Structure 1
């Protein structure tokens, strides 16, 4: 796994997320599926909190405080929508987080092939590059959830 491979994965995620978020209102982002699952707003905030954590783990300054990240922790997954940030703020933060994310990946390029304990996972022999690719897969999983939820709130699919 190279830094270029990882940057491409995260760029694809950004493109997918931006498409799935297009034309969504803040109110729509607060829809809570009655049968379970999470709000679009929480899912996006969760991805941003995870990106901020990743930056901190790789030695960069996280763009969100601990308090902001806490709003989107697993413990708050079904929290009242009034405590969540505006969707527009989250969408701008997503775009703004891309450059620092790509920078830490580039800075880690020479370490990507080394076994790493950063970002715990089920695979104790995983390299840093593999662990970062798991993180990219985590993002695309949630991007798909957002795509499904946008249909639930009455918008057409945004991908293909």
Structure 2
């Protein structure tokens, strides 16, 4: 039987793989395209995913991979189109994603169990990541790229 930690490890690993597949061959310029002039671009979605991964790291007792104030343009409730000049390059974002993945995997490999008071937050943050990961597949297709998952 899978433990709650194993389930979260599988979810985060699968999400990371799906995100990486959807980023394949996407340029920085393409990642900055806001479809219909307002739909969130790939850059913002990836930055937002990292922004929200930081609280997950914190819940698990780890430091964030970046300063949330400095990268507040990726926070929930922001209007990405109005803050696009603050976005960092897509390559940098992918590097932060990789760092967050490595930290999460390392931590999940060392803990015995979750604090019961954090399980709701952990599952909500994982759901949030799954939700936005799915958006990346549609954005990839909107950008004229073939689907990444066959």
TM above 0.5, one fold? yes
> What is the match of residue 153 of structure 1?
143
Aligned CA RMSD, in angstroms, stands at 1.9
**Structure 2 residue ranges without an equivalent (≥5):** none
Once the 2 structures are TM-superposed, how far is the Cα of residue 59 of structure 1 from its aligned partner? 2.2
SS for the counterpart of 2:105 is: helix
Distance 1:69 1:59, change over 3 A: farther
Q: 1:57 deviation in Å?
A: 3.2
Distance 1:80 1:5 in 2: 35
The normalised TM-score by structure 2 is 0.86
Aligned length: 147
CA contact (8 A) 1:55 1:61 kept: yes
Q: Select 2:132's aligned residue among 121, 128, 142.
A: 142
1:91 aligns with 2:94: yes
2:65, 2:99 within 8 Å by CA — same for their partners in 1?
no
Structure 1 gaps, min length 5: 119-127
TM-score of the pair, normalised by structure 1? 0.81
